Amino acid sequence: MKYISTRDSDRTPAAFTDILLGGLAPDGGLFLPEAYPQLDSATLNNWRSLLAEKGYAALAAEVLKVFVDDIPGEDLEVIAARAYTYPKFDSPEIVPVSELGNGLYIGHLSQGPTAAFKDMAMQLLGELFEYELGRRGQTLNILGATSGDTGSSAEYAMRGRKGIRVFMLTPAGRMTPFQQAQMFGLEDPNIFNIALDGVFDDCQDVVKAVSSDAEFKAKYRIGAVNSINWARLMAQVVYYISCYFKVTADNEEKVSFSVPTGNFGDICAGHIARQMGLPIDRLIVATNENDVLDEFFRTGSYRPRPASETLATSSPSMDISRASNFERFVFDLLSRDAAETSELFGTKVKQGGFVIDADLVERARDEYGFVSGSSTHAERLETIRDIEKRYGYLLDPHTADGVKTAQRAQEAGVQTPIVCLETALPVKFSETIEDATGHAPAVPERFADILAAPRHISDLPNDAAQVKDFIVHSIEKTEV
């Protein structure tokens, strides 16, 4: 199994462990497998039995083996077993699935240490990084950006790990108090929190600017944990397979997934699972008022918004107007034309966006299964109220966007069961939950004292050069 960049017309192959530590491709593109591995019915049957008999970690190891051929299989089994354990995850199932009613299910991805779906990939990434760095005798300085949950998940996965530092950019004042407390309360010497004067897209632009400086990246060993890192998506493919098995009795049945998304990472993993042959009917893109992705799937126009037009909403982890993972799907949509992909994302996006032909819009829907929708603040609150009243289940605001969009998809004709992938536990968004229901969400015991912890945070302007200086000075001051 080799990997290629979405912008490399020569299709220069790279090994998994090389792209694991590198993140963004040198040409600015994103890595994908040369070809997606294919799942036949026998493999699906074996994996279904494996999940039932040995659990999520065993399934994860088998999925990893089809993507990774430069780490021994027995080591992958150990890595997966360390990543997905109880009680680090709050359920022995790791990803339980529960039925709401009327064909709707919840895939519970928030059982991990930071109560967000990002833990599903980050816990594995932490194990992979430490394993490969130890094997090479190297260190890594991770640079990332977060709109809410990626940062805390990454920091909890990497804290205290040998050979690793984490530099995480956050949009100043744009995260909930709980999200800020989770990140800024960490005292580990290898964790560095940076509040940037801007929105998430500004943070992401700084990460890309630093990562695109090949000399700086090589000298200071800069790596990535944002979903531009292929290993994140690889890990997320596992829970699509797991959820599918839990909702179906055999491989003849199809299932749809409704996925709240701003950066297109979570649902891109679903696209990959579908391309591998998992019997997925529809991939339902759920957005909030920042509806760049919904606009694309409806009209073919991809129009990233500037920071001034990116709205602060009650589902803040999706307050994103430039979806960095979207390039991977468009590469496939364009029949893997790297030159055209490079033109669209390397040039036209910087000029304001692009429009694809109507036949490609149809292809996205008919061949790749994508439909989309958006939800407003009022609809979000009403969905939270309605689902709690009818089913006794409390949604976080992002998952409410997913449920609302799933319900609209049902009204538009989707008849297969729909698994709504949970974004986070409601406790992370108490103010919105109180607005919706009139009561605060329960605080899990493991988070009881989190808001009282002291804060450790550095404020910086929206400037890549100053972020670079901060990284250099921090590296010089700390050993890992």
Q: Are 222 and 75 in contact (CB under 8 A)?
A: no
Identify the CA nearest to 253 among candidates 418, 367, 365. 418
The DSSP result for 267-298, as a single string, is: HHHHHHHHHHT--EEEEEEEE-S--HHHHHHH
Strand spans (E) along 52-190: 97-101, 104-107, 140-145, 164-171
3-state secondary structure of 167: strand
Helix H or strand E segment including 460: strand 458-460
- Rg over alpha carbons for the chain, rounded to the nearest Å, is 21
In eight-state DSSP terms, residue 144 is: E
Distance CA 134, CA 124 (A): 16
Sign of the CA dihedral with 273 first, then 278, 283, and 287 last: negative
- Cβ(57)–Cβ(85) under 8 Å? yes
**Of 118, 217, 428, 468, which is the active-site residue?**
118
Closest CA to 229 of 117, 343, 121: 121
- Judge residue 426's burial from the number of C-beta atoms within 10 Å of its C-beta, 0-12 exposed, 13-18 middle, 19 or more buried: buried
Is 118 an annotated catalytic residue? yes
Catalytic residues: 118
